[in-house]
Chains A and B, each alone.
Chain A
Amino acid sequence: MRSEPVPPSRFGLGQSVRRVEDQRFLTGHGRFVDDFQFAGQVHAQVLRSPHAHAEIRGIDVTAATELSGVVAVLTGDELAADGIAVIPPGATAQNRDGSDMFVPPRPALAQGRVRHVGEPVAVVVAESIEIARDATELIEVDYETLPAVTDTGSAMDPGAPQLYEGAPRNQCLDWEKGDRAATEAAFAAAAHVSSLELVNSRVVVNPVEPRACIGLWDADGGSFTLYNSGQAAHNVARTLATAVFQLPMERLRVISPDVGGGFGTKNFIYPEQVLVLWAARRLGRPVRWTAQRTEGFLSDTQGRDHVMRAELALDGDGRFLALRIVTTANIGAYVSTFGAMIPTNPVAVVLGGTYDIPAVHYHVREVLTNTVPVDAYRGAGRPEAAYAIERLVDLAAAELGLDPVALRRRNFIRPKAMPYKTAMGSVLDCGEFARVLDRALGQADAAGFAARRAESERRGRLRGLGVASYFEATLGPPNERSAVRFEEDGTVTILVGTMSNGQGHETTYAQILHQRLGLPFEAIRFVQGDTGAIPSGFGHGGSRSMQIGGNALLLAADLIEEKAKRIAAHHFEAQEADIELASGACRVVGTDLAVDLMDLAKIARDPSRLPEGMAPGLDAAGDYAREATTFPNGAHIAEVEIEPETGVVHLRAYHVVDDFGTVLNPMITMGQVHGGVAQGIGQALMEHTVYEGETGQLLSGSFMDYCVPRADDMPTLEVAFEAVPTKTNALGVKGCGEAGCIGALPAVINAVVDALKPLGIRHIDMPATPERVWRAIRAATSGD
């Protein structure tokens, strides 16, 4: 930052400023989509397929239509007749041979065939939600069921049921990155190869706020408004307008008010958004839809679901020579918005991790199955990579009889090697991986682990210490515009294209502006998530908001400072060079002449008080384009105790040291780590998405059967920051939203495997439920 920073303020950067948004969240005044009401509104209920795979022979809606209070019953036939186009993916990829991947059409209502349990088949719109629900039960659908395939590993088997003619063996993409020949040569010459088959298990995301949307149609203006519980207002508006409804984008406004958690799954284009808009236009009335929890399980995009073969080649000194990963990624029945993209580059970009590995090759095949579509979930590709790498390193250490920490240290990319270009082409500008790991080991009292293990053994328990050195790259669209508007009531509004759904942006952006210009923190307001108020934006994802939106705000502040100084110079009849900005005021250096920015904003509205030719207003917008990817990294250390009789894993301690670069608000950042780790622990130990093989039914389809972590499942987390600020952006931030989730998967499983290692167990797949652990122990000890 160029100008003199304001003196340390309790609202400045680096301070744990209490969150501005909490006032409304704590008092029940947060406003989420379902909290909005509209005159004349009607309620939509979606009839969903009970079958994983079936032909629709016919749909009889007569009885449903006749039910009193029903306004409309719509099926795929009406959708097609009205010319509503299919929902396109937001990103696709090319096959290895250069051809385009296979993308099946995805209409908002099934046409002819259903391909997963929960797929929308019809929508009922009625005067009340109860009537709409009753009416869906009156719709008769004649299904001819077909064999279903849900399992990732066997989806490409020759005999597996086929979802699409255009996707032989259910494969829709065959993608690779890296130098295959160099990698194979390195493997051929290796002194040792460690090899592991592993599953990165499927997760049901389950934000506590169910997805919800309300469609409004303005017949006079011929335009839509969509209230959407989402993470990316502009992307949703753009796709729905231009691709689905074939309208100019400005005729479809998307408003995302407070959003109750997203973690990726609320980023995307969903059939229900199309349905409420389409129905609103047909009926001329506001149409609202809120998912029941069960519908969330059956229709919110799910996460992960990779089956991987991961191999690491080492030389005789334990140095890493090459990494090779072959993945089958299950993307579900349709290609969701970023569903096809996530298993490609977002995995590849971090392959190699914090290690100096000369050759890396990644090969992924994506399969379509009779399951809910899979898309980005916290970390999106990077947890899959980090998990594979960090499991492999532990395995290699075990196979070679080396200390896993020493093996990591031996292979870390050294600080003096920066900037370092990885085998996958990522350029790291900074990172001190050994320093971060050492601090974590100290924090976790790793030196005392042997004594703790001995003590556990005396009680008949198995104790394990799991270390993970995670490596992340922040992703998401590289551009953002942040604007600042001085209001006539004396407040200042920040307008951003990013989208907080729990990350406290209202507070952190205000801290940035307050710190940079000295504007009073209390006077700062915040607007996000409204395409009608904000001209462009790319929403939330890839831990990008502060890096892109925050730096854009700094650019806006630069423009404000520049203009303010010119106006102040004019005002005081002084030289511009003699004006300084400090503590929110422009003053003439060496005098007591000063005018604060709020007053300058008033002056700036009056053209007669401005220098010749200057446009009125102090408002400004900063456009930032990412100059370089940032690489958050850190070390997670999990310590577990396992009861061999039951297989129950107790997390006894959990330590994190993160390098997020500059930390803007430690309290909020710590909260991001906590939440991410909790989700990682959930996936590693308890969250189990189970599809019944033959029927394709989601067996774990409620909170009763799908185990989301509760308060007593969480260990005490100790989190510290070891900042190595990046110079690739002015804020020095690297991103923090996904990191907790990325480090936790390998740390927890490495700890579990470390505890089980004395029994000869070399790996256990997630989730390491008591049953799985017990079975592994039993198999290892009884020889069956």
Chain B
Amino acid sequence: MRNEIRFLLGHEMRSLRSVDPTMTVLDYLRQDERLVGTKEGCNEGDCGACTVVLARLVDGGLRYEAVNACIQFVGTLDGCQLLTVEHLVGEDGSLHPVQQAMVDCHGSQCGFCTPGFVMSLFALTRHSETVPDDGVIDDVFAGNLCRCTGYAPIVRAAGQAYELKPRQDHIAAREAETIAALGRLADTETVAVGDGERRFFAPATADALAELFEANPEATIVAGSTDVGLWVTKEMRRLDTVIYLGRIAELARIEEGADGIEIGAGINYTEAMATLARHYPDMGEVIRRLGSVQIRNAGTIGGNVANGSPIGDSPPLLIAAGAMLHLRRGDARRSMPIEDFFLDYGKQDRAPGEFVEKIVVPYPAGGTRFRAYKIAKRFDQDISAVLAAFQLWLDGDEIKEARVAFGGMAATPKRAPAVEARLAGSPWNEDTVQAAMAALEQDFTPITDWRASADYRLRVSQNLLMRCYVETTDATQDTRLVGDRSLAHV
């Protein structure tokens, strides 16, 4: 056990022993460090004014991730370098190229959202060696709101920043030193800190996690805290014991194994996206849209599944793909088809002390068609009204098998057995689709809420099946009308 968290704040070492387990990185920066450049605009990961960058040691190098400080807990900084807008200024006081570009292009007016944009842009320059196209820049800024500039000057600043050699900055110059420092911090001890009766644990191995959670089954497991963070900042819930998964290398992996793609419970969306999109392009599109870069850099598929929300975007994708969920409690492991995990609203087939270890997604077999559609009020950063996922095994024109799953249509993410039955064994033609669309009404009785009415949900779900048909049979049809197609499969 190590009773302190250790990280680099800029290039200064920090060790914290007494830590409120749910204190956010934003509060830590503003209140404890008095680094007030990082701003609070919404406290729920929507506006991006609090964007900071975390540098993590990965395979001997540094990976830079923009995240929302307002919903990250301070304990999750262990082993990272935390960079804020204050750290970008050169040691001689000169502006960083991304800061200079914002000045040159008039990318700042009132200055309040500015630090967040600067950090998003800084992270971009670490990910892309050359200036990306405007669509990618729009994606990078999808999690940053600005009310003053109309964005165009900031988008221009992104291009301008690349003219100023942003990757040859003082942070890069000290990267070897940072890598060495973070290397010295890396250990396999379980971190255990707290502020008295409330505790924060960050185990470094899956075995340690299993032992810890079995002993503390009341604990809340946190990975990206894109949902749990809001329990704290918006619902004012008190969490007494928090176990953080982010240090466990075995869980922060995605591997193309013999039986399929193995998604560790701790891997974030950004890291999982490329591998999943290679096999299932539509999964890539849904991940691209389910949250901003900051959210994708924090949130995990494991958390999205374990949380069991009926409107989580990952479960329908995984159900349609035929994924298996692997759970562990102590040394005991079990697995199940992922749809069996979701028992009822807020209730999953998970014993106290049991956690999601990994999800295994089979590779799409030859002749399958996989389509997924996210229906939300806007393209970026919105909760789905309906998420539909379809997988069809075709033999010529005949459907051998179908797996159809929906989010937002019931109290849990759920398969559509009547639709599947109607499809299986039938020819893949419009008559079959019409019949399957009718069958959908046997599978679901959706509710009306602010996101969508029951009628709308049912109708759009039916129509998405038709869209799937059109897309898989007529390549000339332009069916993805919203958004930029070049971004659909990143």
Q: Quick one: closest A residue to B116, CB to CB? A: A208
Contacting chain B: which of A1-9, A259-267, A432-440, A750-758? A259-267
Are B84 and A674 touching (Cβ within 8 A)?
A: no
Partner of A671, one of B43, B95, B153: B153
Q: Quick one: closest A residue to B119, CB to CB? A: A28
Chain A residues near B113 (CB-CB < 8 A): 208, 260
Question: How many angstroms between the C-alpha atoms of A261 and B146 in the bound complex?
Answer: 10
Chain B residues near A668 (CB-CB < 8 A): 106
Are A27 and B99 touching (Cβ within 8 A)?
A: yes
A93 beta carbon closer than 8 Å to chain B: no
Chain B residues near A703 (CB-CB < 8 A): 42, 44, 46-47, 145
Question: How many angstroms between the C-alpha atoms of A30 and B43 in the bound complex?
Answer: 20
**Quick one: given A671-B106, A674-B152, A717-B150, are A710 and B145 in contact (CB under 8 Å)?**
yes
Partner of B150, one of A263, A293, A675, A699: A675
Q: Quick one: closest A residue to B102, CB to CB? A: A26
B138 beta carbon closer than 8 Å to chain A: yes
Are B95 and A208 touching (Cβ within 8 A)?
A: no
Are A27 and B481 touching (Cβ within 8 A)?
A: no
Distance (Å) between the CB of A380 and the closest chain B CB?
Answer: 16
Q: Quick one: closest A residue to B146, CB to CB? A: A208
Q: Quick one: closest B residue to A712, CB to CB? A: B138
B252 beta carbon closer than 8 Å to chain A: no
Are B111 and A260 touching (Cβ within 8 A)?
A: yes
Partner of A27, one of B44, B46, B85: B85
Chain A residues near B135 (CB-CB < 8 A): 712
Chain B residues near A206 (CB-CB < 8 A): 147
Q: Quick one: closest B residue to A500, CB to CB? A: B110
Question: How many angstroms between the C-alpha atoms of A210 and B50 in the bound complex?
Answer: 13
Q: List 20 A-B contacts (CB under 8 A).
A: A18-B103, A19-B103, A21-B111, A25-B114, A26-B102, A26-B108, A30-B114, A35-B30, A134-B236, A261-B110, A261-B112, A671-B109, A671-B148, A702-B46, A703-B42, A704-B46, A704-B383, A710-B151, A710-B381, A712-B379
Chain B residues near A416 (CB-CB < 8 A): none
Distance (Å) between the CB of B323 and the closest chain A CB?
Answer: 28
Chain A residues near B147 (CB-CB < 8 A): 206-208, 261, 263, 675, 679, 708
A192 beta carbon closer than 8 Å to chain B: no
Q: Quick one: closest B residue to A24, CB to CB? A: B111
Interface residues of B (CB under 8 A from A): 30, 34-44, 46-47, 49, 84-86, 88-89, 95, 99-100, 102-104, 106, 108-115, 118, 135, 137-139, 141-142, 144-155, 234, 236, 377-383, 450, 478, 481-484
Are A28 and B108 touching (Cβ within 8 A)?
A: no
Contacting chain B: which of A404-412, A515-523, A640-648? A640-648
Are A674 and B149 touching (Cβ within 8 A)?
A: yes
A209 beta carbon closer than 8 Å to chain B: yes
Are B142 and A28 touching (Cβ within 8 A)?
A: no
Chain A residues near B106 (CB-CB < 8 A): 19, 667-668, 670-671
A476 beta carbon closer than 8 Å to chain B: no
Are A22 and B103 touching (Cβ within 8 A)?
A: yes
Chain A residues near B155 (CB-CB < 8 A): 711
Distance (Å) between the CB of A29 and the closest chain B CB?
Answer: 7
Most B Cβ at <10 Å: residue of A18, A32, A502, A717: A502
Are A712 and B380 touching (Cβ within 8 A)?
A: yes
Contact with B along A670-688 (1 / 0, CB 8 A): 1100111111000000100
A140 beta carbon closer than 8 Å to chain B: no
Chain A residues near B481 (CB-CB < 8 A): 643, 645-646, 648
Q: Which A residues from 686 to 725 make CB contacts under 8 A with B?
A: 686, 699, 702-705, 707-712, 714, 716-717
Chain B residues near A210 (CB-CB < 8 A): 40-41
Distance (Å) between the CB of B457 and the closest chain A CB?
Answer: 14
Are B152 and A28 touching (Cβ within 8 A)?
A: no
Q: Quick one: closest B residue to A296, CB to CB? A: B42
Chain B residues near A15 (CB-CB < 8 A): none
Q: 10 nearest interchain CB pairs? A: A28-B37, A260-B112, A25-B111, A502-B110, A678-B150, A674-B150, A502-B109, A712-B138, A28-B85, A703-B46
Q: Quick one: closest B residue to A262, CB to CB? A: B110
A258 beta carbon closer than 8 Å to chain B: yes
Question: How many angstroms between the C-alpha atoms of A31 and B89 in the bound complex?
Answer: 17
Are B110 and A501 touching (Cβ within 8 A)?
A: yes
Q: Quick one: closest A residue to B140, CB to CB? A: A711
Distance (Å) between the CB of A68 and the closest chain B CB?
Answer: 15
A34 beta carbon closer than 8 Å to chain B: yes
Question: How many angstroms between the C-alpha atoms of A188 and B118 in the bound complex?
Answer: 60
Question: How many angstroms between the C-alpha atoms of A209 and B85 in the bound complex?
Answer: 17
Are B145 and A209 touching (Cβ within 8 A)?
A: no
Chain A residues near B149 (CB-CB < 8 A): 671, 674-675, 678
Question: How many angstroms between the C-alpha atoms of A259 and B478 in the bound complex?
Answer: 46
Are A714 and B151 touching (Cβ within 8 A)?
A: yes
Distance (Å) between the CB of B201 and the closest chain A CB?
Answer: 22
Chain A residues near B85 (CB-CB < 8 A): 26-28
Chain B residues near A677 (CB-CB < 8 A): 150
Contact with B along A494-506 (1 / 0, CB 8 A): 0000000111100
Partner of B378, one of A27, A208, A707: A707
Question: How many angstroms between the C-alpha atoms of A19 and B104 in the bound complex?
Answer: 9
Prevailing SS type, chain A contact patch: loop
Contact with B along A251-272 (1 / 0, CB 8 A): 0000000111101000000000
**Quick one: given A646-B482, A648-B481, A704-B46, are A209 and B112 in contact (CB under 8 Å)?**
yes
Are A711 and B110 touching (Cβ within 8 A)?
A: no
A734 beta carbon closer than 8 Å to chain B: no
Chain A residues near B112 (CB-CB < 8 A): 30, 32, 207-209, 258, 260-261
Q: Quick one: closest B residue to A28, CB to CB? A: B37
Question: How many angstroms between the C-alpha atoms of A209 and B99 in the bound complex?
Answer: 20
Q: Quick one: closest A residue to B114, CB to CB? A: A25
Are A30 and B111 touching (Cβ within 8 A)?
A: yes
Distance (Å) between the CB of B240 and the closest chain A CB?
Answer: 15
Are B108 and A25 touching (Cβ within 8 A)?
A: yes
Chain A residues near B95 (CB-CB < 8 A): 23, 26-27
Are A710 and B141 touching (Cβ within 8 A)?
A: yes
Chain B residues near A707 (CB-CB < 8 A): 377-378
Question: How many angstroms between the C-alpha atoms of A111 and B31 in the bound complex?
Answer: 36
A292 beta carbon closer than 8 Å to chain B: yes
Most B Cβ at <10 Å: residue of A25, A35, A674, A707: A25
A391 beta carbon closer than 8 Å to chain B: no
Q: Quick one: closest B residue to A680, CB to CB? A: B150
Partner of A293, one of B41, B115, B151: B41
Chain B residues near A675 (CB-CB < 8 A): 109, 147-150
Distance (Å) between the CB of B48 and the closest chain A CB?
Answer: 9
Question: How many angstroms between the C-alpha atoms of A612 and B84 in the bound complex?
Answer: 58
**Quick one: given A209-B41, A263-B147, are A27 and B380 in contact (CB under 8 Å)?**
no
Chain B residues near A710 (CB-CB < 8 A): 138, 141-142, 145, 151, 378, 380-381
A133 beta carbon closer than 8 Å to chain B: yes
Q: Quick one: closest B residue to A646, CB to CB? A: B481
Contact with B along A348-359 (1 / 0, CB 8 A): 000000000000
Question: How many angstroms between the C-alpha atoms of A501 and B46 in the bound complex?
Answer: 22
**Quick one: given A674-B153, A678-B149, are A208 and B47 in contact (CB under 8 Å)?**
yes
Partner of A208, one of B145, B152, B483, B484: B145
Question: How many angstroms between the C-alpha atoms of A555 and B253 in the bound complex?
Answer: 68
Q: Which A residues from 568 to 587 make CB contacts under 8 A with B?
A: none
Are B142 and A711 touching (Cβ within 8 A)?
A: yes
Chain A residues near B115 (CB-CB < 8 A): 28
Question: How many angstroms between the C-alpha atoms of A504 and B40 in the bound complex?
Answer: 22
Partner of B110, one of A37, A207, A459: A207
Question: How many angstroms between the C-alpha atoms of A643 and B141 in the bound complex?
Answer: 25
Q: Quick one: closest B residue to A715, CB to CB? A: B152
Question: How many angstroms between the C-alpha atoms of A705 and B46 in the bound complex?
Answer: 11
Chain B residues near A29 (CB-CB < 8 A): 37, 86
Question: How many angstroms between the C-alpha atoms of A704 and B40 in the bound complex?
Answer: 16
Are B236 and A133 touching (Cβ within 8 A)?
A: yes
Chain A residues near B30 (CB-CB < 8 A): 35
20 additional contacts, CB 8 Å, given A263-B147, A292-B43, A716-B152?
A22-B102, A22-B111, A25-B111, A27-B37, A27-B86, A28-B37, A31-B36, A208-B112, A209-B112, A258-B112, A293-B46, A504-B109, A671-B148, A678-B149, A679-B147, A702-B46, A707-B378, A712-B135, A712-B484, A717-B152
